[in-house]
Structure 1
């Protein structure tokens, strides 16, 4: 990861962020049948009033991730994506750490996510597990789905793992 990598809040409406969100949306739609695909379209992220974090290097957006408060004290990670050409550089880890910090700063007590159960999602599941996330039952409006893996972690100080 380069020293000039900037991890910060970003705008869902920024053209380059939107382009990466659309790439993520297309990849998720291609990877899962519609009934098992829980990816949010960029406009839905905007409507949900999520906090979006991006990783930029030399002004180019390389990765994104969003935090959505789904219940008092409970956040959900959405739209974690690293551009294919930037994978393997620690960008997802940096974004995930920033999102965990954002959740802690907002006094959230629990952070959850849904990701795929297929082998293509194994690197994502490993990243989340390395940051203290453990498999859990479906949360919020999710229902059991063999193509989904649900994960959660406490944000209490005693379980503050940051990989």
Structure 2
């Protein structure tokens, strides 16, 4: 598996992000969907990676800088048909490594609160993410769960 910085131009990426957005809108009310479309993922302060096995896209993930010490995990997705191959774990490992290299003290994320999001929450917990309150521009929402990871070796924020 190869993880690479991605410019969001390939059709496979467009298809996966479309699958992601459709899924989020199917599972959550519109006002509770915080997934980013391609144009928002191209904004300054957001870096996007994809994981490949040859020509097969296995997944993607992004890192948004909230401030100099705090990053946010965005757009974590593996194609429905290619799950359970370790791509999500590999991408999350990569995002955490980049966050540490950038000097972030904390890495946070928002995900859904419904049963369909339990596998994602378990993945994040396995990396040490803990439940927390809203961060950044988020507000309390019964459809959202917020999680954060303090990065080792740095003082708590």
Fold in common (TM above 0.5) = yes
Contact 1:11 1:17 in 2 (8 A): no
- Is 1:122 equivalent to 2:123 in the alignment? no
Q: Which residue of 2 aligns with 1:96?
A: 92
Picking from 68, 79, 82, the partner of 1:83 is 79
Q: Which residue of 2 aligns with 1:35?
A: 31
Following the alignment from structure 1 to structure 2, what is the Cα–Cα distance between the partners of residues 103 and 82? Answer: 21
Following the alignment from structure 2 to structure 1, what is the Cα–Cα distance between the partners of residues 109 and 95? Answer: 12
Contact 2:63 2:73 in 1 (8 A): yes
Contact 1:104 1:155 in 2 (8 A): yes
Gaps of 5+ in 1: none
More displaced 10-residue stretch of structure 1: 27-36 or 15-24:
15-24
- Is 1:18 equivalent to 2:14 in the alignment? yes
Contact 1:6 1:57 in 2 (8 A): yes
Alignment of 1:1-163 (within 5 A): 5-157=1-153
RMSD: 1.4
TM-score (norm 1): 0.90
**Deviation, structure 1 residue 48:** 4.1
From the superposition, tell whether residues 26 and 48 of structure 1 become closer, same or farther in structure 2 (CA, over 3 Å): farther
**Deviation, structure 1 residue 47:** 1.8
- Matched length: 155
Following the alignment from structure 1 to structure 2, what is the Cα–Cα distance between the partners of residues 22 and 49? Answer: 22
Following the alignment from structure 1 to structure 2, what is the Cα–Cα distance between the partners of residues 27 and 43? Answer: 18
Gaps of 5+ in 2: none
**Deviation, structure 1 residue 53:** 1.5
Following the alignment from structure 1 to structure 2, what is the Cα–Cα distance between the partners of residues 60 and 12? Answer: 15
